[in-house]
Structures are given as C-alpha cells and as structure tokens.
Amino acid sequence: MTFQEQILEGIPSILPLPKPYEPQINHAPKRKEILSADEKKLAIRNALRYFDNKDHAVLAKEFSDELNTYGRIYMYRLRPDYEMKARPLADYPGKSEQAKAIMLMIQNNLDYAVAQHPHELITYGGNGAVFSNWAQYRLTMKYLAEMTDEQTLVMYSGHPMGLFPSHKEAPRVVVTNGMMIPNYSKPDDWEKFNALGVTQYGQMTAGSYMYIGPQGIVHGTTITVMNAGRKIAKNGEDLSGKLFVTSGLGGMSGAQPKAGKIAGVITVCAEVNPKAVHTRHSQGWVDEVITDLDALVTRVKSAKANKETVSIAYQGNVVEVWEKFDSENLYIDLGSDQTSLHNPWAGGYYPVGVSFDEAVAMMAEQPELFKQKVQESLRRHASAVNKHTAKGTYFFDYGNAFLLECSRAGADIFAANGIDFKYPSYVQDILGPMCFDYGFGPFRWVCTSCNPEDLAKTDAIALSVLEEMAKTAPSEIKQQMEDNIRWIKGAQQNKLVVGSQARILYADADGRTKIAEAFNQAIAKGEIGYVVLGRDHHDVSGTDSPYRETSNIYDGSRFTADMAIHNVIGDSFRGATWVSIHNGGGVGWGEVINGGFGMVLDGSEAASKRLKSMLFWDVNNGISRRSWARNDEAIFAIKRAMEHEPLLKVTLPNLVDDGLLENL
C-alpha cells in the first residue's frame, strides 16, 4: 500500500502482524501498577472499542499483556510501517489543505528525531502524549484525510470523537487534554485514568501538535541564560568563562546545552539516561560527553581558565555534580534544573545513588520505595544548591516544579517567611517582567513545503520586519528587539532544525502580526509554500500556571485559570485553524491550565483577516490580565496597544498608596 492508502485505511480491517519490541528505541518506562483487577478488564474493554468483534479474542490477550508489561495499552501492533516524519502537503491525501497541515504537524511530533518515546506516542517530558494508542493515531489521520473545510474534528484527550458539521471560519480541529473534574486531578488520578485509556497528558505542545523539537525551547532558554548573565554581570562584562550547571537532556531540556553555547557560557548538563545523552550528542546539541566526575572537574577548570564556550553532557546524576563541584570549590555562576519534576514518580527525576536501570525497575515494582529515594535525592540536591548559592551562585527555578517538589520532600528551600521559596522562578525574575508583561513570547512557524529554502526565506522576511520595527521601538523594548534580531541572524548557522522546517522567535503582538502578514504576502506571490503559525503555550496569554507562567502575578489571582480558558475560546472564533486546551504541562498534572493554537497561512485575503484578528487577541488578552494585576510593564504595553487600536478598551487598575494600608 502507498503512504496515502495507509492513511486512508485508518484501522485495518485485517489486523497487521504483531510488531517486535525494538530495544534500541528510547521507550517510556513501565508505569506503576494502579488498576484493580476489575479496572484492568475495563481498560481492555475500552481499548477493544476501536476494533471489530472478530478481532477481540486475539487483541484482548495482547492488550492484557501490554497492560501488565508496560502499565499501558499502546497497541504496538498498529504502529504504521511508513517512516514517521513531516512530509510536504502534497504528499497527504485529503480534501482540506488545512487538515493536511495538521497531519504534517502530528507526524512531526512523532518523528523519531523529535519524539522522546516515539513508540509510546510520547513527544517530550516523559508523559507528553500526542495520542494514548496507535488506534487513535490511525483513526485521527483518516478523519483528517476525509474532512472538508466545513467540518470540525473533535479530539477528547487523544481520542477522535468524530467529524462534526461546522463552517469554513471555524477551527478544523478542537483539542482537549486531561480536562478533569478538579477533585480528580492529582498525580495518581493521571496514572489511573490514563491507564484506563480515557484521558492523557498533552504536556504543552505535544498534545496540540505544535512541538518543533528542542528548538522551541532553545530560544527561550537562550534569552533566560543571557538575561540571567546580565543580572550577575559587572561593568558590562560578557559571559565568557561563566559556568552554567543544570540537568536534563530529554525532549525540551535537551535544548539547554545548545542555548548555553549560543549565550556564550560553559554549560554542564547532567543526564542519567544514556540514550538521551547519545541522541543530543549525535544531533550536535552537546559538544562533549564525560562519564567521570574527576575528568569533568578537570575539563571545566580548563574551560574556565581559557574562557571557552563549550557544552558538556555529564552522563550521571546532577546531584553528584553539585556536590563534587562544592567539594572541589569549583565556582558555579548560574544554576538551574530542567528534569521533568512535573512527573517525579514516573521517570521525570531519577534518584542519586541508584543506577538508571535499577531506578526504572524500582519505579514500576516498588513505587513507594522509588518515591522515598526521589525525595531523599531532592533533599540532597537542594542542600548542595544552597552551599553554592552561599558562595554567590545565581540559581533560578526553571518552571519544572523543582522547588515545589523539593518543598514537598522537606528540603531547605523556603525563604525566611516560611511561605515563599528562597529562589525565584525564572518567570518571576526574567521572562515575566522582561518579556511576557510586554507581550513578547514564543511565536513560531513551520514551512509546510518541508523545504529548507523556504525556511531561509522566512528567516529573511522576519529579520527584515524586526529590523524595521527596531528603528522606532520604544526604549522599554529595545533590548527585546535586539535580542531577537541577534537570534534570527544566527538561526541558520546554529543548525536548530530537528524534524520539520520550523523557526521560533520571541515577538509581541505587533511583531507577530507584521511577520505573519509578510509571510502571507510571500505565499500569495508564490515565493514560499503554506506556513503554519503557532506558539508554545508558555507565553503571554496561553497559560495559567502559578509556579511558572503567572508566577509574577501578585494580586492573588495566579491560581485562577480564566486567562487560559478565554484565550482558547477567543482564538477559536477569531480564525485559528485548530485550538487546544490542556490540564498539565511543564509543572504537572493539576498545577496548570494551558491553551494553544495553530493557524495555516495560504496567501488568501481571508488568512490575512484571520491572522490580524486572532494574533492581536492572543497576546493582548494576557497583557490586559497582567496589567490588571498591577504589573508596570504590562500597564505600559496595554496602554500602547489601546493607542494603536481604537476598538480596544481595557479596564486599567488604579494604584493604591502603600502607606494608606499600613495602619489598617
């Protein structure tokens, strides 16, 4: 069968032969036993819903074995035989070009070069899934190939509920992931209901088909590291010779060494999974791999002495690195952590003193002991960080729930008031006041031609727009403009593409709109193929996350989720091609609500109208909320937006004299 025929086949009428388990692939760890005997039967019954009754007998036994062996029913037998990768739009069957673009994005999320656990349909973060099983993938691709521009595909946590009549201006796909009743949103609830096959963890951009490989976070990490360096720099010194220590080389965290290289520091990034280390080294995202602590110390001392810019992966536990550098009195300038601590009990964080293979077995077979070991490790981790910060290290929480889980483990990470953490979130200190409050966030695009020449042309278009805007930019956002111009100039030489021909840069509403309109005009002239616009959910408006995206909201509303919900509703009727809303993300199930979108530019007047309406709302929704929280930078930004758009009328806060409240 051709590729197109396989897509249109959906779930085969004749079952394909079972697929052998491929040990060389980076697989998800076995999930812990959480279902009762009756619940296991329910999980199998749920899985069999996708198949004709004639196949139930053979599949029931097979799915039972998968559930007992892996803790989930992935339906490995249904993995397609074709190569999983983004293809040019013309290669996809279908009646809707918008739907073809969504198929491209789905396949890119599952590309072996992009996905963390491709056979388990997990893109990044240890549990960030595009689908829960391969039947869902096959059925979704078939629906997309059949749909017209007057239908909408409804996705319930990976399950394609079906095609419904709508209209051309409606989203082609509406995605929800993990939208639980609030009292059922604890970590074990995810384990249980995911094992039952009725919900999934979409992370931020995995379940919304907008992940573009680690490039998506390279830019944000570069901005973060550069600005963290500016906070510690003296007399305008650069970052050469400065040491940045962190951990995690998985889907998103793998961006850290590349970002450190671009920012000009020495990066030491620890990772316990040998396959993740090999992947990032083979892709050129990390320069060197070291497995011995003494050799690591020697290499870092040499790099410091010579003021090198180099990225080093230490294959081992990061706790050992922090402790070794302390005993060797090796000064760390910048420190953070980007392990998947939103998922601490299922492979997001590995305890020190236990081998990787032993830990994988322990989390499945002895989950309570594994939890105990992780919390012991977190206490040691925090203690070692504290020793370095006492020497002057600037440490920031990278929004991965590191401080939150340390606090739950009883580690010494609280400030003197016993309420706040002693270390800031990077959003509190850097991205919130410097970027999000001004409306700058991770705007991204994908060239659906899959042609590197198209990507180069879009880079040039974006650079031209930014340079023109920088000429008249207010002083308040000059630095942001300059950083993005520097970024896009170096995008090609830094070889950031993994998977689809995609790019990201931080832009405000004005920048996003002007760049998108320039793309649309280039498409209309036949200079480039269609372009998919999107963003990370980690943005100005998309996410309500009290320990990350909205951690610099101080009016008491950071635990509310009105902004994210309004964001996705507003995007859906202002022209998004698809929209998504998730429970969970980088900081954990039950800790965040986040929404995203995708928009296909086809060079038409209709696309021009949609992009102007939707992108303006998508950013200014968040700026207005941040302004109402009395954030000075956001008040400036929303006033500027109202000056440019007479139809925008936002309620502004009246500021209160602090002295008025002191004696009450």
Q: pLDDT tens, 538-572?
A: 999 999 999 889 999 999 999 999 999 999 999 99
534 is in an annotated binding site: no
Cα dist. 206→382, 533, 580 in Å? 30, 16, 11
Domain end marker among 413, 441, 456: 413
DSSP character for 144? H
Q: What is the mean pLDDT of residues 386-390?
A: 97
586 is in an annotated binding site: yes
Q: 191-195 long-range CB contacts below 8 Å, 24 or more apart?
A: 191/31, 191/32, 191/34, 191/346, 192/34, 192/35, 192/39, 194/31, 194/72, 194/127, 194/132, 195/31, 195/34, 195/35, 195/39, 195/43, 195/67, 195/71, 195/72
Q: What is the mean pLDDT of residues 48-63?
A: 98
24 is in an annotated binding site: no
Q: Are residues 608 and 497 in the same domain?
A: yes
203 is in an annotated binding site: yes
**423 located within any domain:** no
Distance separating alpha carbons of residues 345 and 10, to the nearest angstrom: 35
3-class SS of residue 25 = coil
- Look up residue 445 and give its two tokens: 């695009």
Q: Are residues 597 and 474 in the same domain?
A: yes
Domain that holds residue 223: 214-413
**664 has a pLDDT exceeding 90:** no
Could you tell me if 378 and 409 are in contact, meaning their C-beta atoms sit under 8 angstroms apart? yes
Q: What share of the chain is helix, strand, coil (3-state, %, to 5)?
A: 45, 15, 40
Q: What is the mean pLDDT of residues 304-333?
A: 97
DSSP E strands, 130-279: 151-156, 159-165, 173-177, 243-247, 266-271
Distance separating alpha carbons of residues 570 and 154, to the nearest angstrom: 17
Cα dist. 593→88, 438, 561 in Å? 33, 21, 6
Distance separating alpha carbons of residues 657 and 542, to the nearest angstrom: 32
Q: Are residues 442 and 407 in the same domain?
A: no
**150 located within any domain:** yes
> Residue 346: pLDDT band by 50, 70, 90 thresholds?
confident
**151 located within any domain:** yes
Q: What is the CATH number of the domain that holds 394?
A: 3.40.50.10730
Cα dist. 583→12, 199, 321, 339 in Å? 32, 10, 34, 19
**427 located within any domain:** no
Q: Are residues 108 and 239 in the same domain?
A: no
Q: For 74-134, give the DSSP string.
A: --GGG--SS--S---GGGS--S-HHHHHHHHHHHHHH-TTT-SBGGGTEEETTTEES-SSH
Q: What pLDDT does residue 342 have?
A: 82
Q: Are residues 364 and 325 in the same domain?
A: yes
Q: What is the mean pLDDT of residues 69-87?
A: 97
**420 located within any domain:** no
**251 has a pLDDT exceeding 70:** no
580 forms beta bridges with 175, 596
- Number of Cβ within a 10 Å radius of residue 285: 26
Question: Measured at the alpha carbon of residue 543, what is the angle toward residues 541 and 545, in degrees to the nearest 5?
Answer: 130
Q: Are residues 129 and 244 in the same domain?
A: no
Q: Are residues 122 and 254 in the same domain?
A: no
125 is in an annotated binding site: yes
**CB contact burial 320-348 (16+ within 10 A = b; e otherwise):** bbbbbbbeeebebbbbbbbbbbbbbbbbb
Could you tell me if 109 and 209 are in contact, meaning their C-beta atoms sit under 8 angstroms apart? yes
Q: What pLDDT does residue 555 have?
A: 96
pLDDT tens-digit map of 90-134: 999 999 999 999 999 999 999 998 999 999 999 988 899 999 999
**426 located within any domain:** no
Instruction: Quote the number of domains for the chain.
Output: 3
> Residue 1: pLDDT band by 50, 70, 90 thresholds?
very high
3-class SS of residue 399 = coil
Q: What is the mean pLDDT of residues 439-465?
A: 97
Amino acid type, 139? L
DSSP character for 264? T
- Number of Cβ within a 10 Å radius of residue 663: 5
Q: Are residues 169 and 103 in the same domain?
A: yes
State the chain's mean pLDDT as an integer: 95
Q: Are residues 366 and 221 in the same domain?
A: yes
Q: What is the mean pLDDT of residues 608-625?
A: 98
Q: What pLDDT does residue 218 have?
A: 85
- Number of Cβ within a 10 Å radius of residue 17: 6
**215 has a pLDDT exceeding 90:** no
Amino acid type, 118? P
271 forms beta bridges with 315
- Look up residue 569 and give its two tokens: 């509703």
229 contact partners, CB below 8 Å, separation of at least 6: 239, 242, 263, 265, 333, 334
527 is in an annotated binding site: no
**365 located within any domain:** yes
Q: Are residues 291 and 149 in the same domain?
A: no
Q: What is the mean pLDDT of residues 284-299?
A: 96
3-class SS of residue 547 = coil
Query: Residues of the chain with pLDDT > 70: what percent?
Result: 100
**532 has a pLDDT exceeding 90:** yes
- Look up residue 103 and give its two tokens: 């198929």
Convert 328-383 into a string of H (helix), E (strand) and C (coil): CCCCCCEECCCCCCCCCCCCCCCCCCCCHHHHHHHHHHCHHHHHHHHHHHHHHHHH
pLDDT tens-digit map of 356-385: 999 999 998 999 999 999 999 999 999 999
Q: Are residues 407 and 496 in the same domain?
A: no
**418 located within any domain:** no
3-class SS of residue 22 = coil
DSSP character for 313? E
Q: What is the CATH number of the domain that holds 514?
A: 3.40.1770.10
Q: What pLDDT does residue 252 have?
A: 67
Q: Are residues 405 and 487 in the same domain?
A: no
